[in-house]
Amino acid sequence: MSEKPTLPGVPTEEELQIINKLSRRPLAPEEVFVFSVVLCDNEIDRDNERFTVPALQKLAELYVGKTGIFDHSGQGRDQCARIFSCTVEPGEKTTAAGERYHCLKARAYMPRTESNRDLMLEIDAGIKKEVSVGCATAGRTCSVCGADLRRGPCGHRLGRYYVKDGARTKCHAVLSDPTDAYEWSFVAVPAQPAAGVTKAHRLKKGADWDALLAALKEGNAVTLDPVDAEGLTKSLQALRERAEEGARRLDEMRREAKRLTLLTQPALDGEAADRLVAPMEGEQLKAYVDACRRTAAERLPLRPQLAPAKTTADPSADDNYRI
């Protein structure tokens, strides 16, 4: 009689005790599928960013109990697994930044159900492998000069090479002091070749447009404090109103430019005048209108209808009629 095949991904007794602290009811070993996943590391990633080792150690605490989803969807229906333990493990190689390699390795579990059967098979087959994490860090500095990149860009460009301490080094953003871990996701193309990571940055309180634009310029997702979100929303509304007012004034100036064009260049028709002034913007359009007005004043001097006619007669010629 052949032995019953051992189920893949069965938790140990110790692991099951930890899992049952997260589950609503005690689960049996055969009800659970567990697997390991490298969430991120301290290597410079495709976004030209890297975590510090202390940041990985903090994330190891923050990620216990966090849910696994697909493609950072944020949808409850996409929840598929949960982390029950997380550690930072050193490696033998040296990173591009000259540090000893460290990775954040987690153990995750999911219920062994019929609906999860294909996913479990894909995990075991190495198809569902690459992952990405969503987290917030309080620190983001330039690796070359140490400038706080949350306050705005410095003079160095991420991804370019500079000489630092006599050695050629690749400029990147150093992520430190994690404040929150949101989720981790299965993705197709991660930022980190070894695991994959996309980072959601939480702006500090009192964030302004410069800080927001600096974060977005680097291609990062941004999480705002509720107060800052309200303030930036009001600022955005005010900017939109000003933009609409500016667009109305620009339209009025274009109409005036067209009128003056037809007045000073009668050989042109209305369509040609429209094509002439349509590409003009701002100061260029204003300069054109001013020039047209000067030309119109020179060529077509205007005077009120009831203004007295000008005369070149010598006033002394009327001496015989004076009393």
Same domain, 243 and 219: no
Determine the residue type at 109.
Y
Same domain, 255 and 148: no
In a domain, 304, yes or no: no
Torsion angle in degrees (nearest 10) through CA of 156, 161, 165, 166: -140
Label residue 304 by pLDDT band (50, 70, 90).
low
Q: Which residue has the higher pLDDT, 157 or 280?
A: 157
Q: Which residue has the higher pLDDT, 282 or 58?
A: 58
pTM of the model: 0.58
Looking at residues 9-28, what average pLDDT do you find?
92
Label residue 315 by pLDDT band (50, 70, 90).
low
Looking at residues 254-276, what average pLDDT do you find?
84
In a domain, 86, yes or no: yes
The helix-helix angle for 282-299 and 226-264 (nearest 10°) equals 30
Where in the sequence is the domain holding 123, given as residue range(s)?
Answer: 13-224
CB 112 within 8 A of CB 10: no
CB 39 within 8 A of CB 68: no
Per-residue pLDDT at 122: 87
> What domain count does the chain have?
2
Tell me the CA distances in angstroms from 160 to 155, 211, 219, one per residue in order: 11, 22, 17
- CA separation for the pair 159, 149 (Å, rounded): 14
Mean residue pLDDT of the chain comes to: 81
Same domain, 277 and 211: no
Last residue of a domain, one of 180, 207, 224: 224
Segment 114-171, tens digit of pLDDT? 998 998 888 888 888 888 888 999 999 999 999 999 888 888 999 999 998 888 999 9
The DSSP annotation for 168-226 comes to EEE--EEEEEEEEEEEEEE-SS-SSTTS----EEEPPTT--HHHHHHHHHTT-EEE--H
Last residue of a domain, one of 207, 224, 241: 224
